Amino acid sequence: MDLDNQTFSGRKRHVAIGVIVLIILASWLSIIDHKAEEYVDESTVQALGIFGTLRVTNAAISVIKSVEVDAFVASVQFGQILDPVDDLIEDASSILKMAIGSLITQKILTEIVSTTFFKLLITAAGLLLIASLYIQQGRYSGFLLKAFALVGMARFLFVLVIFLNGLVDQAFMDDKTKTQHESLKEASNSVAAIGQQASQVDEQDPETIEIRQQMRDLEEEREALLQTISQTQEQVADAQSELESSESKLTALKDELGLRDRYFSENPEYEGQKAQVERRESALSDSLDQLDAYTEKFENVDEKLEDLNDELQGGGKGFFASAKEMMNFGQIKNKTEKLIDSMLNLMALLTLKGVIIPVIFLVLLLKGFRYIWGIDARTFAGQQWQSVKSELDYQPNTDS
């Protein structure tokens, strides 16, 4: 589309002015911006909660696998069942980190294009464009029209992508994600209960009395770590519960507030509740870091115990007999199958929410731009930028 030879008069000029004013008003009202930020905040809280559940599950599986240091046969059976789950948890954690990183990036982009600078920039460009439409029927408004189009594209493109992603998420995926998270937490709690049951057997086996002092010292350290991990798991669960409660209160408060109170005036109760959500996000993150550190120490102790156990001849058989009575391998298998199903579904949903759907909407918006303007948005932006730059750099010859 040739923007340099456009003329605006009569009805065409009135329509153009109306569109420009609507775009400027949309920029200052920031309704789409607020909706996009709300979606990103809620999705981030949800992703952090799922990440916390995965780390708790990882700690519980490490506890169950600790029987490997006492019985070689149990080691084989537990390894066959739990090693793939452990690997899948690591893969799911990586995908969650990617999704959380994507959400944080989306929030930063939204905050950047929602700043007063961009609002003033699009307002100035719009007012200058309106003024130019009255000069010789807008015959020389091409430069300002290019500038306004570029600023408008920068102001609204990413916000619209995030907003549309939020609409699709709320309509089709949010309930499924919550259901799968609840299923994951239920299976995780069941696995954790089995792990706690297994961890209590070690001190009851009389044949472990003959194990060397070094191994007993490590087992005592492991027992202390088990208690610490259990306490930290409770802290993580409490932090998750408090965060979900705060988020629910914040959502309820949003629903109670009117449009004016939510977007155009400061509300102490709303801001306080929002700050509480951020504090509890930080508390959950700290608890997860502690849980990861204790779990790593626990696994290091297990590796040392396994090395010592390899030197034993005939030891641990009594413990295995007790462990076999305490542990139901079929039960563990059923719980891990539920874990796998929930994790695979969550991995797919979060990949869709955090990466695939935003990219799809970005491509669709760019395709729509191409359909309307008859040119690829990237090519258009490059051409208009070069055109604007050339006009700004042009210095008329005043010597002649």
Mean pLDDT of 267-278: 78
Percent pLDDT > 90 in the chain is 4
Cα 291 from Cα 315, distance rounded (Å): 31
3 part of a folded domain: no
Task: Give the C-alpha separation, 296 to 155, whole Å.
Answer: 45
pLDDT the model gives residue 139: 65
Q: Distance between CA 379 and CA 295 in Å, rounded? A: 52
pLDDT attached to residue 79: 55
Does residue 5 form part of some domain?
no
Flag whether pLDDT at 389 surpasses 70. no
Residue 213 included in any domain: yes
Q: Which residue has the higher pLDDT, 262 or 51?
A: 51
Residue 2 is assigned to a structural domain of this protein: no
- Report how many domains make up the chain: 1
Calpha distance 243→287 (Å, rounded): 12
Cα–Cα distances (Å) from 303 to 60, 156, 209, in that order, read 17, 54, 20
Give me the domain span that covers residue 76: 10-392
Residue written as token pair 């965060």 = 243
Confidence of residue 320 (pLDDT cuts 50, 70, 90): very low
Least confident of 61-70, 171-180, 316-325: 316-325
Question: pLDDT grade, residue 400 (50/70/90)?
Answer: very low
Region of poorest pLDDT, from 4-13, 203-212, 283-292: 203-212
Q: Is residue 382 part of a domain?
A: yes
Residue 214 lies in a domain: yes
pLDDT digits (tens, 9 = 90+) for 216-230: 788 788 888 888 888
Residue 157 lies in a domain: yes
For the chain, what percent of residues have pLDDT higher than 70? 69
Q: Is 374 helix (H, G, I), strand (E, B) or coil?
A: coil
Question: How confident is the prediction for the chain on average, in pLDDT?
Answer: 75
**Cα–Cα distance measured from residue 213 to residue 115, given in angstroms and rounded to the nearest whole number:** 65
What pLDDT sits at residue 319? 42
Q: What pTM did the predictor assign? A: 0.60
pLDDT in tens, 238-249: 888 888 888 888
Q: Which of 141-150, 228-237, 362-371 has the lowest mean pLDDT?
A: 362-371
In sequence order, which residues have a C-beta less than 8 Å from that of residue 119 and are 6 or more positions away?
27, 28, 155
Q: How confident is the model at residue 165 (pLDDT cuts 50, 70, 90)?
A: confident
Residue in 263, 26, 12 with CA at minimum distance from that of residue 123 = 26
